[in-house]
Amino acid sequence: MKGLLSILVIAFCAEISAQESQYELMKRELNENSLPLVNLTVNVSSLSGSKYVSGEIEISDYLRRTDPNTDVVRFSCKYRIRGGTASRFDKKSFAVKLYDENDEDLDANILGIREENSWILDAMAVDRIRMRNRICFDIWNEMSKTPYETKSEKRNGTKGVFVEVFINGNYNGLYCMTDKIDRKLLGLKKAKINEDGSVAVKGIMYKGINWKSGYNLLSYKEADVSSDTWNCWELQYPDDYPSIDTWRPLMDLIDFCSESTSDDVFKEEYENYFYVENLADYAVFTMAMNVGDNGYKNTFLSVVDVTKEHRYMLSPWDMDMSLGGKWDGDYDGSLSYINRYRKIAPFNRLHVQNMDGFKDLEVSKWTKYHNTLFSPQSISDRMDNYAKLFTSSGAWEREYAKWNGNPVPLKHDIADELAYVKEWYVRNYNNLCSQFGTDNVDGFADINNEVVRGEKEGAVYDLTGCRLSSPLKKGIYLINGKKVVVR
C-alpha cells in the first residue's frame, strides 16, 4: 500500500511538472544570477504593428527592482509589434503600454528605470552580440545630458535592463527592456487644448525615419501637413494633432538651414536653433561608435516649448548598426571619418567652415573622452560585463539554442563574437586618434594592421576623412586605418 501511494505521488508530481510552462519552471529557479523573467500573456494571432492588443505582463526579478516587497509583479497592458524591418523577423520586438483597472494609463517604475507607462521589449534580432544598442546608449547617457533641467536627471537617452522573455509561458529569448525617448523623458511642455477646441502647440518632437527629402535639413518638398509623417520625418509629439502648426517649426528650421540663408546670417543666428554642445556630442559620439544608420535618420529633434524658443536638441535612436555591424547583422569593417556630416545641416557650415571654432570643439570632445569613455579598455569592459550577465544566467545558451541562424548566425561562445567587435573598435579608435591628432592608448597601437573588412586593400584617406584616389604627395594619410607618412 505504501509503495502504491509513493507511485501515485510521483505520478501526480510528474503530471503537475508537465503542466508547468517554461516560464513557471524558470521562475521557481530564480536566483542571484538570473536575468529578470518577463512573461507576456496575449493572443499572439491578434498581434500586429498597427494596433494594440490587450494582455497581461508578469515580471519576475530576484533583485525586486520594480516592487521591493515582492519579486513578482503583474500589470494589465496592451501590446503591439514594433519596428520596420525588424517586424519581419520571427523574433519580434514589442511595444508595451500599462493600464489600470479603469483602462487608464498606468505609470510604474519597471526594473527601477523610471515611472512610465510605455515600454519597449527590444529583440535585438540582427545584433550578433545582443548588446550594441544598449552599450551605445549607456555611453551616450554618460557623455551627453539635456542642456536644461528635467525630472529624469537630464537624461537624453534610454535606460534598459536585459531580460528573458516568454510568450504565454513559452521561451522567446534574450531581450532588452527599455523606456522610450518621449515627451516626459525630455521634459517637453504639453500641448494645450483651447476652449474652441484648437490646439496650442508647445513641446514638439520629430523623428527621422528615412533618407528621403528633408533628411539633411537643407530642403523639403510640399507634402500633406495633416499626416503624422511629412517628408522623411514622423511627428512624435504631439502626435494626435498633425497640422500646419505642428509641422511649421520643422519647416522654419529647414528654411533657416537652407542655402537661402547667407553664411553671415547663419553664423549670427544658429545658436538660436541648436544647442552647440549637443551637436558636437552627437557628431563625436556617432563617429566613435561608427553609428551607420543615423545622421538624422533614427534621430529625434525636439524643442521644449516652441512658444518661447526654437532651439532643437538631437537624441540618437536605434543604434544596432554600430561597432562594426551592418543593419542586416553582417560585418561592417568600414571606419569613421570626421567629415561624415559635411553634407548635412548645420554641420555643413559649422564643421566644414570651422564656424566659431566648432571643429575645435569636436576635437576637444574627442580629447576629453578618448582615454575614458571611448578607450578600447572601457569598451571592452562594458562588453565583458554584459557577456558575463548573459552567460552566468544561462541566457546566452538559451538564446543560442532558440535563435542561432534566425535571422543571423550566433557564436556558441559569445566571447568569440566579441573578439571581432573589440578588434574592429581598436582599428576605428586608432583611425579617429589619427584624425583628431591624439595619441593611441598604450598597448593598442599595433593591433590595426589587418585590412579592414569591407574596405578595399590600400584605401587611402587624408586626415579629414576624405577618400583619395590620385597619387599621394608628401603628407600624412590613413591607409587601412593606420597613419602613414609619405616623404
Render pLDDT for 41-82 as a digit per residue (tens, 0 to 9).
999 999 998 899 999 999 999 999 999 999 999 999 999 999
Question: Residue 10 above 50 pLDDT?
Answer: no
**Grid cell locating 402:** 532558440
Q: Letter for the amino acid at 4?
A: L
The reply to whether omega before 242 is within 30° of 0 (cis) is no
Q: Are 403 and 173 in contact (CB under 8 A)?
A: yes
State how far the Cα of 184 lies from the Cα of 7, in Å rounded to an integer.
Answer: 59
Three-class SS of 132-143: HHHHHHHHHHHH
- pLDDT, mean of residues 452-480: 54
Can you give the pLDDT at residue 114? 97
pLDDT at 469 over 70: no
What beta strand segments (E) does 238-316 contain? 299-303, 313-316
| Dmax (CA) of the chain | 99
The answer to whether 401 touches 430, Cβ cutoff 8 Å, is: no
**What pLDDT was estimated at residue 85?**
76
- Which residues are CB-contacts of 484 (< 8 A; sequence separation ≥ 6)? 476, 477, 478
Rg from Cα positions in the chain:
25
Q: What cell was used for 135?
A: 552599450
Percentage of the chain surpassing pLDDT 70? 86
pLDDT, position 193? 82
Give pLDDT, residue 51.
92
Closest CA to 71 of 41, 113, 118, 27: 27
Of 383, 332, 454, give the one whose Cα is nearest residue 129: 383
Distance of alpha carbon 363 from alpha carbon 338, whole angstroms: 10
Encode pLDDT of 360-370 as tens digits.
999 999 999 99
38 contact partners, CB below 8 Å, separation of at least 6: 57, 58, 59, 60, 121, 163, 164, 165, 166, 175, 177
Mean pLDDT of 163-178: 98
**pLDDT-derived band of residue 83, with 50, 70 and 90 as boundaries?**
confident
**pLDDT tens by residue, 200-209:** 999 999 999 9
Q: What's the mean pLDDT in 222-249?
A: 95
What residues are paired with 301 via a beta bridge? 206, 314
The mean per-residue pLDDT over the stretch 368-386 comes to 97
Tens-place pLDDT, residues 392-409: 999 999 999 999 999 999
Residues 413-437 have a mean pLDDT of 96
Phi, psi angle pair for 97, to nearest 5°:
-125, 130
Q: Inform me whether the pLDDT recorded for 165 exceeds 80.
A: yes
Q: Which three-class secondary structure state does DSSP give residue 384?
A: helix
What's the rounded Cα separation, in Å, for the pair 351 and 258? 16
- Read off the DSSP letter of residue 223: -
Q: Is the peptide bond prior to 346 cis by the omega test (within 30 degrees of 0)? A: yes
pLDDT over threshold 70, residue 459? no
Q: How confident is the model at residue 7 (pLDDT cuts 50, 70, 90)?
A: very low
Confidence at residue 463, expressed as pLDDT on a 0 to 100 scale? 47
Judge whether residue 468 has pLDDT over 90: no
Q: Tell me how many degrees the CA angle 439-442-446 measures, rounded to the nearest 5.
A: 85
